[in-house]
Amino acid sequence: MAVPAAWFGWTAFRLFGPVAGILVGAGVLSLAIPMMRTCLIVTDEDVVDRRLIRRVRVPWHRISTFSVDRPGWLWGGFCVVATCKDGTRVDLLSTRAYSRAPSSSHLDELHRLCWTLEELLTVHGDSFGAGP
């Protein structure tokens, strides 16, 4: 993110002056921290997809399967997709890599993650969130 921040900051500096350059550069750079914090969190109750701006929670009892597929809408590449029992699909976008292009090793990592999540789903089944 440092390179885009410097480029956008320099462009704003040339066009609008030093204050605009600093503000634009700092604004772009401030996206780096939330971007680095994106992750998939697995708890006893649900799967939490912590994204750049928001969190998406999917309770275990709603999930029927996991797969590796292309996300919907404008997103490119591949990610892990949770298919719910009612047929809805939830793209776990935090499993996408923002800093690199999708490669065969990235797809292998996604499949391993998908298999781990499937294993958790089959081992624990409906006991997730049931409590003692």
CATH code, domain with 56: 2.30.29
pLDDT score at 102: 60
> What mean pLDDT comes out for the span 98-115?
76
CA dist., res. 90 & res. 70, Å (int): 11
pLDDT band at 89 (very low <50, low <70, confident <90, very high): very high
Q: Evaluate whether 81 touches 68 at the Cβ level (below 8 Å).
A: yes
Q: In this structure, are 12 and 60 located in the same domain?
A: no
Q: In this structure, are 25 and 79 located in the same domain?
A: no
> What mean pLDDT comes out for the span 13-26?
90
- Domain extent, residue 8, equals 2-34
pLDDT score at 72: 76
Q: In this structure, are 87 and 112 located in the same domain?
A: yes
Q: What is the pLDDT of residues 32-87, one digit of tens each?
A: 777 777 889 998 888 999 887 889 999 999 999 999 888 877 767 788 999 999 99
Domain assignment of residue 132, yes or no: no
Q: In this structure, are 28 and 48 located in the same domain?
A: no
> What mean pLDDT comes out for the span 98-119?
79
DSSP 7: H
Q: 79, exposed or middle or buried, with CB in 10 Å at 0-12, 13-18, 19+?
A: buried
**Of the candidate ranges 7-11, 31-35, 100-104, the one whose mean pLDDT is the lowest:** 100-104
Q: What is the pTM of this model?
A: 0.69
Q: In this structure, are 11 and 46 located in the same domain?
A: no
Count of structural domains within the chain: 2
> What mean pLDDT comes out for the span 89-97?
84
Q: In this structure, are 65 and 106 located in the same domain?
A: yes
